[in-house]
Amino acid sequence: MIANPIPWPDGARCAVAMTWDVDADSAFNWYNKDTADNLVAAQSWTRYDPLIAIPRLVEQFARRELHLTFFVPGWVIEKYPAQIDLLVKNDHEIALHGYLHERSNEIDKDDELYWLGRGLEAYRKHLGAGPRGWRAPSFAFSKHSLRYLLEAGFEYDSSLMGDDIPYALRDGNASLLEFPVDWTLDDFPHYAHNRDLGYRMPISSPQRAMEVFRSEFDAAWEFGALWISVWHPALSGRLARFKAVLELLDYMCAKGGVWFARLDQVCDHVQKLIAEGRWTPRYETFPLYQSPLPEFSKYR
Ligand SMILES: [Zn+2]
């Protein structure tokens, strides 16, 4: 089913990167710039993420000796440094997720570069070198983003949705690895019900979401794919949902043949395969489109 199968370490059937986006109250402030200070229930909902869920996740993953990738906006690194330190101390990877959860494809290219610079500055001030990885807030990757990420030295992105296994994004002579995601493994469409964030998904049991997450895992296992969750501590870190996450982990472990990895470890593995000539990724050349299609010019 996969045209260009990738060898995983030690003959593993598939790779699982359970990644989390630690938005905290960044996205909520970005989407409600003039009113966020007065939306107190929504503030509490988003702050559950760093204050309650992060310590819970860290404790449970330490028990299972699991080390994961957390995508964090620069503003969240500045505002919740103790939670970032807790993640780092437990050998989790911190990758960058914007500065204030800006939607890069809804602002102009100079503003995009400004916010990227703020994010990098916050990251390096607190964490030193890096980051190696990026996920565009709200998956709002613009046609300028790849060039900016390459110039900033990023080695991988995990925002696009164009494959089941790693592939590569090229602009000129430079490229980085893409670790693709999909809405099916994002917890927002399953769980988010918050009027102030503009989401009104129907509330249902965690088992319904787990049915989707598990079927994606079973297919990844069968066909050798890279399974990447895009989960948010404010959603999937809530009690019943997180209990279901741990049960899913038990299911994956019982099935066996799974390589659990942080995305920087996936990056190391793929870079090594390429350097040794053992596997070649599919390359996509960017930007895919320079401007809106000329076919629509009569409507403009
Ligand atoms: Zn986010």
Determine the pLDDT at residue 299.
80
Record the tokens describing residue 77, joined without a space: 């690194």
Q: How far apart are CA 123 and CA 155, in angstroms?
A: 16
- Ligand 1 centre and the CA of 220: distance in Å? 24
- Ligand 1 centre and the CA of 262: distance in Å? 18
**Is 267 a residue whose pLDDT tops 80?**
yes
- Ligand 1 centre and the CA of 188: distance in Å? 10
If pLDDT is split at 50, 70 and 90, which confidence band does 24 have?
very high
Q: What three-state secondary structure class fits 194?
A: strand
List phi, psi (to 5°) of 70.
-120, 120
Residue 20 near residue 233 (C-beta atoms within 8 A): yes
If pLDDT is split at 50, 70 and 90, which confidence band does 198 have?
confident
- Ligand 1 centre and the CA of 280: distance in Å? 30
- Ligand 1 centre and the CA of 102: distance in Å? 9
Q: How far apart are CA 24 and CA 233, in angstroms?
A: 8
Within 13 Å of residue 291, how many CA atoms lie on the same side as its CB?
A: 5
- In sign, the C-alpha dihedral spanning 251, 253, 255, 257 is positive
- Ligand 1 centre and the CA of 60: distance in Å? 22
Amino acid at 63: R
Q: How far apart are CA 148 and CA 71, in angstroms?
A: 18
Kindly report the number of other CB atoms within 10 A of residue 110's CB atom: 8
- Ligand 1 centre and the CA of 119: distance in Å? 13
Q: How far apart are CA 196 and CA 186, in angstroms?
A: 19
- Ligand 1 centre and the CA of 159: distance in Å? 10
Q: How far apart are CA 180 and CA 158, in angstroms?
A: 6
* 85-132 confidence digits (pLDDT tens): 999 999 999 999 999 999 999 999 999 999 999 999 999 999 999 899
Q: How far apart are CA 276 and CA 144, in angstroms?
A: 31
- Ligand 1 centre and the CA of 135: distance in Å? 8
pTM of the model: 0.97
Which strand (E) or helix (H) includes residue 36?
A: none
Any idea which residue has 């870079």 for tokens? 271
- Ligand 1 centre and the CA of 256: distance in Å? 31
Q: What percent of the chain has pLDDT over 90?
A: 92
- Ligand 1 centre and the CA of 39: distance in Å? 19
* 210-221 confidence digits (pLDDT tens): 999 999 999 999
Burial of 296 by CB count in 10 Å (0-12 exposed, 13-18 middle, 19+ buried)? exposed
- Ligand 1 centre and the CA of 298: distance in Å? 37
CA dist list (Å): 159 to 52, 54, 177, 215: 26, 22, 11, 21
Beta partners for 70?
Answer: 20, 94
Determine the pLDDT at residue 300.
74
Determine the pLDDT at residue 18.
98
- Ligand 1 centre and the CA of 21: distance in Å? 5
* 38-65 confidence digits (pLDDT tens): 999 999 999 999 999 999 999 999 999 9
Helix 81-89 vs helix 109-127: crossing angle, to nearest 10: 60
* Residues near ligand 1 ion, CB 5 Å cutoff: 21, 23, 137
* 139-168 confidence digits (pLDDT tens): 999 999 999 999 999 999 999 999 999 999
Which strand (E) or helix (H) includes residue 95?
A: strand 93-96
Q: What share of the chain is helix, strand, coil (3-state, %, to 5)?
A: 50, 15, 35
- Ligand 1 centre and the CA of 72: distance in Å? 8
